[in-house]
A and B are shown apart, each in its own frame.
Chain A
Amino acid sequence: MVDEKQLHAYYENYNAALQFLVAKQNGRKMEDYLKALGYNSVAVYGMNDLGNCVVRELKDSKTVRLLYALDQGSPKLYFDIDCYKLDEVPPNKKPDIVIVTLPYLYDEIHKDIERTLGRPTISITQLVYDMDV
């Protein structure tokens, strides 16, 4: 039996990953888009495969600083980067924006993240579509 929720989650991940690929093939850079919006520093929430793609994309950026990763569970960390739980974030290290890499959960969790950190969030899905326009 197919778990509909899980299927939906896989589709959302696929949708975001596919659009990320399309945007990259169109020559887009995530750092350019974030910079154009006025963001100088980011954090990545959700260290799954998509989260690691975002880290790979931004870790060497000279225009947008990747401060750290955030994860409430057991993160996959393929890169040398600090990773905190939401309530462990050092108070003097707040990012301009948090990229949430759990598209199927974004609606449920983004308000909590924004309230805890006092910073705006953006869904990975919106980010990879908007950066391609």
Chain B
Amino acid sequence: MCGILGGTKKTWNYKKALNSIVHRGPDGKRINCFDDFTMGFVRLSIIDLSDNGMQPMEDTSHSVALTFNGEIYGFEPLRNDLMEKGYSFRSTTDSEVILNSYLEWGDRFVEHIDGMYAIAILDRREKKLKLFRDIAGIKPLYYYYNGRDFAYASELKAITSLINDTSLQIDNTAILDFYNFLCIPAPKTIYKDVFKLEQACELVYDYERGAVESNASFWSLKPNAEEGNEIIYDKLGTVKELVSESIGEQLVADVPVGGFLSGGMDSSIITVEALAKTDSYQTFSIGFYDHRNNELPYVRCLEEKYGFNGNKYFVKKNEFRDLYNNLKEWYDEPFADTSAYPTFIVSREAKKKCKVMLSGEGGDELFAGYPRHLRLKDFESGRKTTVDEDLEFIYQWYVFRPLPEHKKLKKRLGISDDYDMFWFLRKHYHKDLPPITRMQYMEFYTYLSDDILPKTDRVSMANSLEVRVPFLSKKLIEYAFSLSQNERCPNGILKYVLKNAYNSELPHNLINRRKEGFTIPESFFGMGVMPQERIEELFLGTKIIEK
């Protein structure tokens, strides 16, 4: 896990920009100037701690340079394949595997890798800069393009620091989107001319012509469109094998590895699998002095069953108050997922003992873990609904202001009445899929990639901690969505597949417990106030709509 950046203009302050993301990589820093393009890198050493793993990394002929943030899983066999084809390696890093994969397969190297990544490849033969982002959007990648100049970076703050361009304009539609979705969804950022590269996308910038040549998806999720029948036993076994394989691959590191343990099913599954593979695995859990939010009793259930004693930390109200304003620093643009706070705190505690953590993100999206996955099915039951009716129904789960207030917002922000407030959901909404699959598919491309994953990336990286997400291996994603709706969620049983696959490994009270979000007690924000309203004031200075 690291920080990357690059750009076209020699007059930009690359050193200052790199310093703004040094938290992503405190173990090393480098800037290289190549012809008409500069690349910078801050390193968090995880695999091959020597200087051989430093970036920007070049091939022996200096025709291709790479900066890469993330990890490639199970890269050793690929490395061996490339060695058999005649490629030599100076390091044992996955970065060099990507470099040589690109030399071998060109842009299609992405078909040969699995992992979490934001990759920038400067191909000096073609005079092109190519950006790649992983299929789930685990690692962030921002870019600036004003029709001529180009820059990319791991965080928005690095872009704004790099270009230091006061003519950057706020995109008011992005502010409206924030109210709609509690985040600014890709490809938008708060600024015009600055964008997020969407998940599973490749962007090609021709730095000789000064033009973005293409920005297209290299992979798409192909969900099973059948309602189908209840899952058969063999498939549960396959899921378990894939989960175990993914965790095994993601435990690979030259530094201590641990895991977040919330007391929920996903993190418990990861813990059980990891403990079976390594004695050195440590868990980190958060508690609150409030029974309504404290999940430590569930953590203790697992500890008692498996005979281990994880690290536990209670979050205090005054501690939260000290961190409150940091949300702006972490996200650089409006972002209202309050679980960022406990995630920051557990990351901070974990970093005292580990450098890499495993986390359970993705389990709910892949295996239908949210109660709202069922609501659409109920909504459609017995009638034909339009896409607009569906989206208006779904929308209520993401917003904290009622729909009529958005008309006032549009007016205040100078946005035309016909602006589609549902654009982000509509883009990934496929009415031809059965309702539960449809919700899962949509959330894989929306809620997961633009809320859950950025939330974890920024606050873990703020602590220079790498977080890996075993449920989001390519094989597991594709397998989960290859199941029919009723195989994944028969008779409306949420997380049916994981519950049954791990029925003998997990305590039953943990399997059957109610789904809880990971968030700060509302009392921390003050009585009678929704946390998101406070965050609105934090980012925007005021409530745009006064009550």
Contacts and interface: CB of A to CB of B under 8 A. Distances in A.
Interface in A96-133: 107, 123, 125-126, 129-130, 133
Nearest to B312: A133
A129 B314 contact: yes
A13 interface: no
Contacts of A18: 291
Contacts of B294: 129
Interface secondary structure of A, over-half rule: helix
Contact of B316 (A8, A15, A22, A126): A126
Contact of A8 (B291, B312, B527): B527
B317 interface: yes
Interface string B253-269: 00000000000000000
Given A107-B317, A129-B294, A4 B289 contact: no
Given A107-B317, A130-B314, A133-B312, A125 B527 contact: no
Given A4-B527, A8-B527, A125 B289 contact: yes
B528 A4 contact: yes
Interface residues of B, number: 15
A129 B287 contact: yes
6 contacts: A8-B527, A15-B290, A15-B291, A18-B291, A19-B289, A125-B289
A22 B287 CA distance: 15
A130 B527 CA distance: 25
A85 B318 CA distance: 27
A4 B528 CA distance: 10
A107 B527 CA distance: 15
A8 B232 CA distance: 50
B223 to A, nearest CB: 43
Contacts, number: 27
Interface of B: 287, 289-291, 294, 296-297, 312, 314, 316-318, 523, 527-528
A133 B288 CA distance: 12
A126 B317 contact: no
Contacts of B316: 126
Of A125, A126, A129, A130, chain B has the most CB atoms within 10 Å of the CB of A129
Contacts of B314: 126, 129-130, 133
A19 B528 contact: no
A42 B477 CA distance: 56
Contacts of B297: 22
A6 to B, nearest CB: 12
A74 to B, nearest CB: 28
A126 B289 contact: yes
Contact of B289 (A15, A22, A107): A15
Contacts of B287: 129, 133
A103 to B, nearest CB: 8
Contacts of B290: 15
Given A125-B289, A129-B294, A129-B314, 5 more contacts: A19-B291, A107-B318, A126-B316, A130-B314, A133-B287
A109 to B, nearest CB: 14
Nearest to A26: B300
Contacts of A129: 287, 289, 294, 314
Contacts of A22: 297
Interface in A1-37: 4, 8, 15, 18-19, 22
A58 B436 CA distance: 55
Contacts of A15: 289-291
B314 to A, nearest CB: 6
B404 to A, nearest CB: 27
B310 to A, nearest CB: 10
Contacts of A107: 317-318
Contacts of B312: 133
B509 to A, nearest CB: 15
Contacts of A125: 289
A126 B528 CA distance: 24
Nearest to A22: B297
Contacts of B289: 15, 19, 123, 125-126, 129
Contacts of A4: 527-528
Contacts of B527: 4, 8
A18 B297 CA distance: 13
A48 to B, nearest CB: 18
Nearest to B321: A107
A4 B318 CA distance: 22
- Name the residue among B287, B290, B296 with the largest chain A CB count within 10 angstroms: B290
